[in-house]
Amino acid sequence: MTNQSIRIAIIGFSGLIGKRHTSHVLANPSTELVATVDPSPAAPSVASSLGIEHVPLFTSIAEMFNSSVPRPDAAIVCTPNHTHVPLAKELVEAGIPVLVEKPISNDIESGRKLVNLAQSKGVPLLVGHHRRFNPYIIAAKQALDRGKVGEVTAISGIWTAFKPDPYFDAGAWRKFKSQGGGVVLINMIHEVDNLQFLLGPIIRIHAEEMLRRRTTTTGDDNKDAAEEGVALTLRFASGVVGTFIISDAVVSPHNFEMGTGENPTMPPVRLPHGSDEVDVYRIFGTNGTLSVPDMRLWKYHEGTEKSWNTPIGHEKLEIDQDPRVPFDRQLDHFVKVVLGQDQPNCTGEQGLSALEVCEAIRDAIRSDTGTVILKRSVAN
């Protein structure tokens, strides 16, 4: 933490993720909410419900800049996916550091232009892959770096849940691929960033789209209808291979939010016989297997033969007990970046890398073979 305070503007505070960012900015002693930008007719009532009716509210970034409000030191963009780039560009052009919610864009070309603009202006551009600050992911990364599982060979992952109709009613853009909707850009992009943070860049994908079970969003005959689920096989540049199942239209506790308790709107799942979390990743290595977020490391006891004929044991890896949630940690980090005290944990380039993988998943769904080889033009 720092003793200095920065002035922050939140762009798009009335949505689900905007409300979360607003609450964290208000609670952080190092940040001051000086302005909000949101053209939604509901914005004034949302501001009142959040207790920020005294904070100047504008319908556009240009209106904010033309006002007498003190110039913000930084901004957080939490608007619908397809608006991330044009709004972030306005801020970057003005020299204001930006934390833009994931995905950085809903298409590679515009996302790359934003990254290039920020680099040319020398303005910090961060992407909100907040799970890099999650204690379970931090602990898993440390375990892999320390060789706890030996040489990683494969990974299996899962994100499955049921999104109710009101979720789509509250944000119609979530129904359409062209507007950044669908489980790939909304949810899988988090998983992609986790996987690449842990195991390096993904270079090849095979994807099979699941049957659509939802009848209240868009019909299957609509070419712009967002996907509900995908089954994936993955190859990483390191040679590691993996599988992943993702769906937002099935009843299941197997997702990162319920397994870790990260999202306060999604009740955490604990198994009846104890406090073990539902696992969502299993990382297989030459000396052991680590499951996350229960953080159980399966391995043979020291001094015993490494063989399927030998009883296998396990241990529980510890996570740090920092009480701050990942959004708080991310905000603290953003403050330090703005003050020049730290380098971005998730850069625009890294956010673009995750987007490249998600776009490849969608390309694979549409292709005759179901397979796409990525041309990695940005760093992981």
Would you state the pLDDT for residue 224? 86
| Rounded-to-integer distance, Cα 377 and Cα 5, Å | 37
pLDDT digits (tens, 9 = 90+) for 117-155: 999 999 999 999 999 999 999 999 999 999 999 999 999
**Averaged pLDDT for residues 206-221:** 74
pLDDT band for position 217 (cuts 50, 70, 90) = very low
Note whether 139 and 102 are same-domain residues: no
Would you state the pLDDT for residue 4? 74
CB atoms within 10 A of CB 29: 9
Question: Mind giving me the DSSP string for 256-321?
Answer: HHHHHT-STTS---B-TTSSPBPP-EEEEESS-EEEETTTEEEEPPTTS--STTSPPEEEEPP---
Note whether 259 and 338 are same-domain residues: no
Note whether 180 and 121 are same-domain residues: no
Would you state the pLDDT for residue 1? 41
3-state secondary structure 67-83: CCCCCCCEEEECCCHHH
Note whether 330 and 310 are same-domain residues: no
Residues 6+ apart with CB under 8 A from 233: 205, 206, 241, 242, 243
Residues 307, 313, 317, CA angle at the centre, nearest 5°?
A: 130
Would you state the pLDDT for residue 263? 85
Note whether 170 and 145 are same-domain residues: yes
- Asked whether residue 349 is assigned to any structural domain, the reply reads no
Note whether 136 and 247 are same-domain residues: yes
Residue the block writes with tokens 């299957």: 220
Percent of the chain past pLDDT 90, that is, above it, reads 81
Note whether 126 and 136 are same-domain residues: no
Would you state the pLDDT for residue 223? 80
pLDDT digits (tens, 9 = 90+) for 281-338: 999 999 999 999 999 999 999 999 999 999 999 999 999 988 889 999 999 999 999 9
At 203 the three-state DSSP class reads strand
Note whether 318 and 214 are same-domain residues: yes
3-state secondary structure 205-248: EEEEECCCCCCCCCCCCCCCECCCEEEEEEEECCCCEEEEEEEC
Average pLDDT score, the chain: 92
Q: Provide the domain count of the chain.
A: 2
Contact by Cβ (8 Å): 8, 34: yes
- Asked whether residue 199 is assigned to any structural domain, the reply reads yes
Tell which phi-psi region holds residue 196, choosing left (phi > 0), alpha (psi between -120 and 50) or beta: alpha
Note whether 205 and 291 are same-domain residues: yes
3-state secondary structure 80-120: CHHHHHHHHHHHHHCCCCEEECCCCCCCHHHHHHHHHHHHH
- The 8-class DSSP code of residue 146 comes to T
- The 8-class DSSP code of residue 347 comes to B
Query: The domain containing residue 122 runs over which residues?
Result: 6-130+325-343
pLDDT digits (tens, 9 = 90+) for 45-65: 999 999 999 999 999 999 999
Residue the block writes with tokens 């049957």: 211
| Rounded-to-integer distance, Cα 33 and Cα 147, Å | 43
Note whether 310 and 330 are same-domain residues: no
**Averaged pLDDT for residues 265-275:** 74
Order of strands, sheet of 98-100, starting from the edge strand that comes earlier in the sequence: 57-58, 31-37, 6-11, 74-77, 98-100, 125-127
pLDDT digits (tens, 9 = 90+) for 189-200: 999 999 999 999
Residue 216 has pLDDT above 80, yes or no: no
- Asked whether residue 275 is assigned to any structural domain, the reply reads yes
CATH code for the domain in which residue 254 is found: 3.30.360.10
At 250 the three-state DSSP class reads coil
Residue the block writes with tokens 């868009």: 218
**Averaged pLDDT for residues 181-185:** 92
Residue the block writes with tokens 């109710």: 164
For 69, phi then psi, to 5°, come to -65, 140
